[in-house]
Chain A
Amino acid sequence: GAGVSQTPSNKVTEKGKYVELRCDPISGHTALYWYRQSLGQGPEFLIYFQGTGAADDSGLPNDRFFAVRPEGSVSTLKIQRTERGDSAVYLCASSLMGQGPSPLHFGNGTRLTVT
């Protein structure tokens, strides 16, 4: 596709449930990022993939959060035992090289609401 695609656009789940958020990056982009944006805040880094491997997962808040990118393209962010504090917009971005001035191209995000 022309841009980064994220599905679903919105997700409502109950506390304690498991959710998966999908990101389809721009074709040919080797770098993929996940960010979390809470209300009234700037995006906060979660994890960065270069190809299939997680090059930096220092932003994952705890072991309930996990992300994969098995074929170096589509990525899935997985959240176990969701909590109300996990409610936020989850942004995915991709980049051609993942370094230097190469800009990040963002998707429209998934708004996760945990009730």
Chain B
Amino acid sequence: AQTVTQSQPEMSVQEAETVTLSCTYDTSESDYYLFWYKQPPSRQMILVIRQEAYKQQNATENRFSVNFQKAAKSFSLKISDSQLGDAAMYFCAYRSAVRSEKLVFGKGTKLTVNP
């Protein structure tokens, strides 16, 4: 079974600075998708960014970018120019492209943004 590991339970960053959240995963598959979701106190999971494993180019969405290292099974999230509204729980998630439609989530990283 696939597993997702987020080794940083908590991280903090100064407003306007850059922070990187780590994620590693374990799979024997070659075709899959990776996601980062944000969960503010409202509880709603909000998609931040996604990456197709067959794409070598790292995904970017405005201030959010990923460093996808397929061989190392690593998928880190970089947040540039951090804003107070970025404070939330961040979850890394894996989805197989062939076996199942379900997302497998990590335990999350709590990000605090200091003014």
Binds A, one of B14-22, B44-52, B68-76, B77-85: B44-52
B56 close to A (CB within 8 Å):
no
Complex formed: what's the CA distance from A52 to B37 in Å? 27
B33's partner among A56, A91, A101 (CB-CB below 8 A) is A101
Q: How many residues of B are in contact with the other chain, CB < 8 A?
A: 24
Q: How far is the CB of B111 from chain A (nearest CB, A)?
A: 15
The size of the chain A interface, using a CB distance under 8 A, is: 29
Residues of B within 8 A of A (CB): 4, 33, 35, 37, 42-47, 50, 52, 91, 93, 97, 100-108
9 additional A-B residue pairs with CB within 8 Å, beyond A43-B105, A50-B101: A40-B107, A41-B107, A41-B108, A42-B108, A95-B101, A104-B45, A105-B47, A106-B44, A106-B46
Chain A: residues with CB nearer than 8 A to chain B?
31, 33, 40-45, 48, 50, 55-56, 59, 89, 91, 93, 95, 98-101, 103-109, 111
Chain B nearest Cβ from A2, distance in angstroms: 12
In the complex, chain A residues whose CB is within 8 Å of the CB of B46: 106
Distance, CA A43 to CA B93, complexed state (A): 10
> Would you call A55 and B44 a contact (CB within 8 A)?
no
Residue from the list A33, A42, A109 in contact with B44, Cβ < 8 A: A109
Q: Is B44 within 8 A of A108, CB to CB?
A: yes
Question: What residues of A have a CB within 8 angstroms of the CB of B45 in the complex?
Answer: 43, 91, 93, 104, 106
Q: Is the CB of A33 within 8 A of B105?
A: no
List, in ascending order, chain B residues with CB within 8 A of A105's CB: 47
A112→B112 CA distance, assembly (Å): 27
Given A91-B45, A103-B47, A56:B100 Cβ within 8 A: yes
Question: Contacting B52 at CB < 8 Å: which of A55, A91, A93, A101?
Answer: A101
